[in-house]
Structure 1
Amino acid sequence: MRIEDVPESWEVVASQQRFKGHVIEVVTDTVRMPGDEVADRDYAVHPGSVAVVALDDRDRVLLIRQYRHPARRLLWELPAGLRDVEGESLVEGAARELAEEAGHRAATWHTLIDLITSPGMTNERIRVFLARDLEPIPEAERDFVHRHEEIGMPVEWVPLADAVRRALAGMIHNSPAVAGILAAYAASAEGYATLRPADAPEA
């Protein structure tokens, strides 16, 4: 068999919304299974996200630290955010998050990796981009106001190889950060030549 994920949708014979919040909703779908049985599947409906592995000319990755209440941890993460601006492309959203959360912009963008964060419990998809040829955005051009968990977030530049070691040592836990760091390290072996363009379609 070809080892490649493909779209598939089994028949949903009933669906019930259990909860609707600011970002997610929780539904129960009754799905027709093989053998003509049906089974209930609960999951969170999520708008999706983007994240950015921003690498400078010294091969350092930009990490931010943010409080994540469900995990009860301060986590080192990539600049990231929701796909919640109508008409905005994925790479435009990633550039916006890089500017808002880390105060940088990039001249060179590639698609690094696509993730389905937890396919047994949510439909959330994250596209992680590789951003290079970075420059800081002057303070006078920054108009984003940080609120809530984003207030006072530290920004650190970590050598990519060191970030890999920290991920493998269990010091970095955020899933798109771990996946993005490891993917960037793997892609660096070929000079990033095999990466997809920034506007590559999602499967």
Structure 2
Amino acid sequence: MAEHPPIADEPVELPVVGSEVEFAGRVWDVRRDTVEYRGAHLVRDYVDHPGAVAVLALDDDDRVLLIQQYRHPVRSRDWEIPAGLLDVDGEHALAAAQRELAEEADLAASEWSVLVDYRTTPGGSNEAIRIFLARGLTPTAVPHPREDEEADMAIRWIPLDECVDAVLARRVQNPSLVVSVLAAHAARARGWSTLAPADADWPTHPKLRPAAS
């Protein structure tokens, strides 16, 4: 049986012959691109997203920090991990993750690693999310004020194994929570050998991909 190289997504830069914003939103836009593909022109609409970061905060007892807040599109109060948009010009993903952990959970961390990267909806959005693992947790000096959906956020510490059970029982379905707890469970079983440095490159983010030569 022939051996194959490890599977990996393959970046492709097709010629874009037209691109326009069909809808300009408050946070993200809907863009229409016309691309050349196999001798034809394809027209694709997608959500043009700045990207985001999320934080799986794990304490010394292997408990995960979860927050619960209202998400209007799905009419649900979802259990999630702290997360936020990459919407500050020039801000590094790690700095954004540190900011979000402080703003949403009043926590700082002394140990940061990249846990996993993923893209939420490749068929309809260019949104890319990097999930960090944060350990060595301490409270911030000053609690952060919260408003709108964050004003009544619930916060709970749940053992990692119980989080995995909740995912597999389909009781929680926020994608960053699902991806992060399954990745952390697998990474822990491998002695955390799969973690990457907190400042690792992120070439799968569409806006951070190296320019084609």
Measured against the shorter chain, the TM-score band is over 0.9
Residue number in structure 1 paired with 2:184: 184
2:130 is the alignment partner of 1:127? yes
Out of 28, 35, 41, the position equivalent to 1:24 is 28
Tell me by how many angstroms 1:191 deviates.
2.3
Identity %: 49
2:22 is the alignment partner of 1:11? no
Of 79-88 and 116-125, the range deviating more from structure 2: 79-88
* Structure 1 residues 137-169: Cα deviation after superposition (integer angstroms, max 9, x where no partner): 23xx23x32111111101100000000010111
Out of 98, 106, 111, the position equivalent to 1:103 is 106
2:76 is the alignment partner of 1:58? no
Equivalent residue letter for 2:22 = R
Partners of 1:193 and 1:31 lie apart in 2 by: 40
- 1:29-178 alignment runs, 5 A limit: 29-34=33-38, 36-138=39-141, 141-142=142-143, 144-178=144-178
Partners of 1:16 and 1:84 lie apart in 2 by: 21
The alignment's TM-score, normalised by the length of structure 1, stands at 0.94
* Structure 1 residues 65-84: Cα deviation after superposition (integer angstroms, max 9, x where no partner): 01111111110001000111
Q: Secondary structure at the match of 2:181?
A: helix
Equivalent residue letter for 2:161 = A
Equivalent residue letter for 2:96 = G
Partners of 2:145 and 2:197 lie apart in 1 by: 31
Partners of 2:196 and 2:20 lie apart in 1 by: 38
Tell me by how many angstroms 1:86 deviates.
2.1
Following TM superposition, where does structure 1 have runs of at least 4 consecutive aligned residues deviating by more than 6 angstroms? none
* Structure 1 residues 50-79: Cα deviation after superposition (integer angstroms, max 9, x where no partner): 000000000000000011111111100010
Tell me by how many angstroms 1:22 deviates.
1.4
Partners of 2:118 and 2:133 lie apart in 1 by: 14
The alignment covers a number of residue pairs equal to: 199
Partners of 1:6 and 1:195 lie apart in 2 by: 22
Q: Secondary structure at the match of 1:70?
A: helix
Q: Secondary structure at the match of 1:50?
A: strand
Q: Secondary structure at the match of 1:100?
A: helix
Q: Secondary structure at the match of 2:201?
A: coil
Structure 2: 5+ residue runs without aligned partners?
204-213
Residue number in structure 1 paired with 2:206: none
Partners of 1:14 and 1:200 lie apart in 2 by: 33
Tell me by how many angstroms 1:171 deviates.
0.8
Partners of 2:69 and 2:29 lie apart in 1 by: 23
Q: Secondary structure at the match of 1:86?
A: coil
Partners of 1:47 and 1:87 lie apart in 2 by: 12
Structure 1: 5+ residue runs without aligned partners?
none
Partners of 1:147 and 1:6 lie apart in 2 by: 41
